[in-house]
Structure formats: C-alpha cells, structure tokens
C-alpha cells in the first residue's frame, strides 16, 4: 500500500470544498452553473470525474523485457476519482487537481507470475497559484502538465516532456513543477519565461536537473508560430519551434521540432483534412537525428548505447495516420483510429478508441491497442495487444 498523508488531507479538504459548491449549485437550481463554473459570472469552478476501467495485456517475450523484468501486469482493474478545482479572483488564481486511485493488478507472465497486488494512492497531479500583476502579465507557480504545439504523435519542441498522452486520452499525464511568467504584449505576440524546478510526478530514467526556457508566440491571420529557447542545467541548450497554417476551412498544416547545441535535431511535419461529414484525417512524419538503428531494439538502451533516455522514440523515421469521427454510426459514438509505423524496422502500433456518450454524465469507452513486428523491433518488443474497457461519470 502507498500512503501520502498530506495529500490525503488535502484531497479531503478539496472534496469538502467541492461538496459545498455542489450543494450551493443544487440549491440555486438550473441556472446555478453560470455562477459556479464560469470565467465570466463566478469565481469558483469544479469538475468531478469518477473512472472505472479494466485492462488486459498480452506481452511479447523479448530480449527487451526478458522474463517480464519491466513488471508489466497482464490484468489491471482501476478506480479513479479526479477533482479539478479552480478559484478565479480578479488578481489571484488558485487551482488544485487532487486524485484518488485504487488499482488491482495480476501477473501471469515473468518473474511475478501468479502474483496479485492492490495499491491505493492519493496525490495532487496538478496544483498552482497565479498572480495577475497587470491584465496582460501573469506570474504562476505550481505543478502542471504543460503541453503545447500542434503535433499528434509527440511534441518535439517541448523541452520538459515531449510525450503528449494522445495514445490513450483516458490515462492522465503527470504534472511537473514550473514557475512561469506570461506577458501577452498584444493579440499577436506573447512571451513566457518558464523554469522547470522539479520532476513532479514524472518518472525519469535519469537524475532530474532544472530546465529554463523562454518562449515567444506569434498568432497571425490563419497562421501561428512559436520559438522556444531552453537550457537544462549541466545539459544541452536547444531551440524548439512549432508553427501552423490554415489552408482552408478544412485543411491545416503544421511543423514542429528542435535543434540542440550539439547539432542533434528532431523534425515533425504533418497536416489534417476535415471532410464534409465532420470526420478528420491527419498524417505526420517524424525524424529523429539521434537515432539508434541497431538491429535489436534491446541494444539501444544503456549500457549498450548512450542514446538520450528522454527520447519517446529510438529509431529515426516514423509515420502517423489518425482518423477521428464524431457521431460515427450513432450521434453519441466517437471513433478514433490511430496508426504509428516505424519506417526503419517496419514495426507498427494501431489504436482504436470508441467512446459512447450514454447520457449527460456517463461515457463508456473501449481502447484496443495492438502491435506488429518481431520481438527485436521497437514497437513490437513489449506487447502484442492490450484492451481497455471502462466508464466515466462526471459531475
């Protein structure tokens, strides 16, 4: 069992706060939402979400995960309670996202075969305090999942965490600790100074070192662009960038990447097209100059290789195709199909997500994730398939 007493106390206080707000909303009738969740009419906002899901994974016996040394369970059942609370005052903004998580797991393969484990955890995935020095100048400190950029596969311009969580929208991305100063100089230009002071809830494969960044954003008519200059203590400095272009009411193009002071670079470009029925097809190509093209993926990691452990992908060339259709077959059914192919070793990963809006509060979802490729390939080395089925209830 894992316990975090201060977090539990904070969670309970947050829950009490949410309960008070819910009671107030109920007492004020149907128009209360405009008072309790609104950027315009009221200072307090909340979101409560309960999640219940099960996952089945079929592992691939491979050199990378010999005898399941990575401890990946074959069966998992999880219940999660997520609270999002925000208090917006004219000059101060407070936010907290406490989480309560109960997970049961069972192993059939590897060194933990026939073992089961139950784990409960309470924690703050995100929190923050912001102060508005001026209507267009905001300073903040806290823990958050800081994401930007137009790409679907990953965000190579982000020096803090390039993984954007799009493979599974139901699993929450970890928050990291940041101090930020944002100055919106006009409707076209804004700048941000960002200091990443702690890894927060992100599991790193290396020691954490603070990273500092300056970000400049431009928004023009039908186009946007950003430059991110960053430096990690005792590490590389790099220039990240992203941009997008609106070609028409249906077609968009985007570019994202970075280059560091050692000349290593990552580049991603892609685009999307929306059909008249509202379905959207997106495609991307990603190239990583610091690639490992050894025959077996297991030899791309330490101690065999000194490739950056922060990488999301270890080979050089990748393609992504994604199809998203709201109201697929039924108005309440959404479909997402996502295919990622490693163009160097031929392995691939396919993801299908179905989401059904049962009523205003409840969603049912299923996510099928399967791979192709031999155990020596990157995307085929860990598992053959996984299936996730669950439900979400929100208030």
Partner 1 sequence: MSKPWLSWSLLGLALLSAGMAAGQEAPPRMSEKEILAQADEARGNLDGVEWRLDILAETGSHTQEMSLAVKARGFDVVTTTLAPPRSKGDRLIMVKDNMWFHKPGLSKPVPISKRQKLLGTASYGDIATTNYANDYAADLSGEEVVDDIPCLVYDLVSLHNKTTYDRIKYWIDKRRLVGIKAEYFTVSGEKFKSARMEYENLIPRQGTMKPFISKILITGELVRSERTTLVFSTPTLQPIPDSAFNLDLLTQ
Near partner 1 in 97-116, by CB under 8 A: 97
CA 179, 184, 188 angle in degrees (round to 5)?
A: 135
Among 159, 244, 375, 390, binds partner 1 (CB under 8 A): 244
Tell me how far, at minimum, the Cβ of 220 lies from partner 1, in Å: 6
State which residue, 16 or 247, has the beta carbon closest to partner 1.
Answer: 247
User: Which distant-in-sequence residues (6+ apart) come within 8 Å of 29 by Cβ?
Assistant: none
* Closest separation in Å from C-beta 289 to partner 1: 24
Quick check: 266 binds partner 1 (CB under 8 A)? Answer: no
Point out which span in 3-11, 66-74, 184-192, 299-307 binds partner 1 (CB under 8 A).
Answer: 184-192
Is residue 47 classed as helix, strand or coil in its secondary structure?
strand
Residue 297 interacts with partner 1 (CB under 8 A): yes or no = no
Instruction: Return the biggest CA–CA distance within the chain.
Output: 65
Residue 142 in tokens: 């806290």
Residue 17 backbone phi and psi in degrees, to 5: -60, -45
Q: Which residues of 210-244 are buried (b: 16+ CB within 10 A; e: fewer)?
A: ebbbebebeeeeeebebebebbbeebeebbbbbbb
Check if the beta carbon of residue 336 is closer than 8 Å to that of residue 353. Answer: yes
Tokens of 292: 């490992």
Q: List the structure tokens of 23.
A: 């009671």
Under the binding rule (CB under 8 A), the answer on residue 219 touching partner 1 is yes
Under 8 Å CB-to-CB from 298, ≥6 apart: which residues?
62, 63, 64, 304, 376, 381
Q: Which of residues 131-170 bind partner 1 (CB under 8 A)?
A: 135-136, 138, 140, 144-150, 152, 155, 164-166, 169-170
Going by their DSSP bridges, the two strands 211-220 and 75-88 should be labelled as unpaired
Q: Which residues are bridge partners to 121 per DSSP? A: 101
Q: Which is nearer to partner 1, 166 or 386 (CB)?
A: 166
Closest distance of CB 348 from partner 1, Å: 22
Q: How far apart are CA 258 and CA 159, in angstroms?
A: 9
Tell me how far, at minimum, the Cβ of 251 lies from partner 1, in Å: 7
Among the candidate windows 52-60, 249-257, 297-305, 380-388, which touches partner 1 by CB under 8 A?
Answer: 249-257
Binding piece for partner 1, criterion CB under 8 A, among 10-18, 62-70, 290-298, 329-337? 329-337
Restricted to residues 30-69, the positions that interact with partner 1 (CB under 8 A) are 33-34, 37-41, 45, 47
Least Å distance between CB 360 and partner 1? 3
Among 167, 178, 170, 217, CA closest to 76:
170
Per CB under 8 A, contacts with partner 1 among 351-370 are: 357, 359-363
For residue 290, give the DSSP letter.
S
Q: How far is the CB of 299 from partner 1 (least distance, A)?
A: 32
Between CA 43 and CA 18 the distance in angstroms is: 13
Q: Which of 75/323 has CB closer to partner 1?
A: 323
126 vs 369 by CB, closer to partner 1 = 126
Which of 237/246 has CB closer to partner 1? 246
Please name the helix (run of DSSP H) or strand (run of DSSP E) that holds residue 18, with its range, or none: helix 5-28
User: What is the total count of residues that contact partner 1 (CB under 8 A)?
Assistant: 82
To the nearest whole angstrom, how small is the minimum distance from the Cβ of residue 327 to partner 1? Answer: 6
Question: Taking CB under 8 A as the criterion, which residues in 270-289 touch partner 1?
Answer: 272, 274-276, 278, 280
């Amino acid at each position: 069992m894992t316990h975090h007493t201060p977090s539990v106390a904070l969670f309970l206080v947050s829950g009490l706060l949410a309960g008070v707000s819910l009671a107030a909303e109920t007492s004020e009738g149907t128009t209360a939402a405009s008072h309790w969740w609104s950027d315009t009419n009221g200072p307090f906002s909340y979101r409560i979400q309960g999640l219940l899901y099960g996952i089945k994974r079929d592992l691939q016996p491979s050199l990378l995960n010999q005898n399941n040394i990575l401890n990946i369970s074959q069966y998992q059942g999880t219940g999660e309670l997520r609270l999002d609370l925000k208090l917006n005052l004219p000059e101060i903004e407070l936010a907290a996202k406490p989480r309560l998580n109960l997970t049961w797991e069972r192993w059939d393969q590897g060194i933990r075969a026939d073992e089961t484990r139950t784990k409960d955890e309470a924690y703050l995935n995100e929190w923050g305090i912001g102060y508005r020095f001026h209507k267009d100048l905001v300073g903040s400190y806290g823990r958050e999942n800081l994401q930007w950029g137009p790409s679907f596969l990953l965000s190579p311009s982000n020096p803090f965490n390039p993984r954007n969580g799009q493979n599974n929208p139901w699993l929450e991305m970890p928050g990291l600790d940041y101090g930020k100063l944002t100055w919106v100089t006009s409707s076209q230009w804004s700048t941000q100074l960002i200091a990443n002071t702690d890894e927060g809830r992100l599991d790193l494969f290396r020691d954490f070192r603070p990273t500092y960044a300056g970000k400049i954003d431009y928004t023009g008519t039908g186009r946007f662009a950003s430059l991110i200059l960053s430096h990690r203590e005792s590490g590389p400095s790099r220039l990240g960038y992203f941009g997008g272009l609106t070609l028409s009411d249906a077609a968009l193009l985007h570019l994202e990447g970075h280059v560091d002071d050692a000349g290593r670079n990552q580049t991603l470009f892609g685009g999307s097209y929306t059909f008249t029925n509202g379905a959207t097809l997106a495609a991307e190509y990603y190239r990583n100059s610091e690639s490992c093209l050894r025959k077996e993926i297991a030899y791309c990691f330490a101690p065999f290789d000194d490739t950056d452990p922060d990488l999301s992908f270890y080979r050089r060339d990748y393609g992504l195709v994604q199809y998203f259709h709201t109201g697929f077959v039924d108005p309440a059914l959404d479909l997402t199909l996502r295919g990622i192919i490693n163009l160097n070793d031929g392995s691939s990963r396919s993801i299908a997500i179905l989401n059904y809006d049962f009523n205003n509060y409840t969603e049912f979802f299923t996510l099928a994730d399967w791979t192709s490729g031999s155990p020596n390939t990157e995307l085929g080395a860990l598992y053959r398939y996984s299936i996730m089925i669950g439900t979400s209830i929100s208030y």
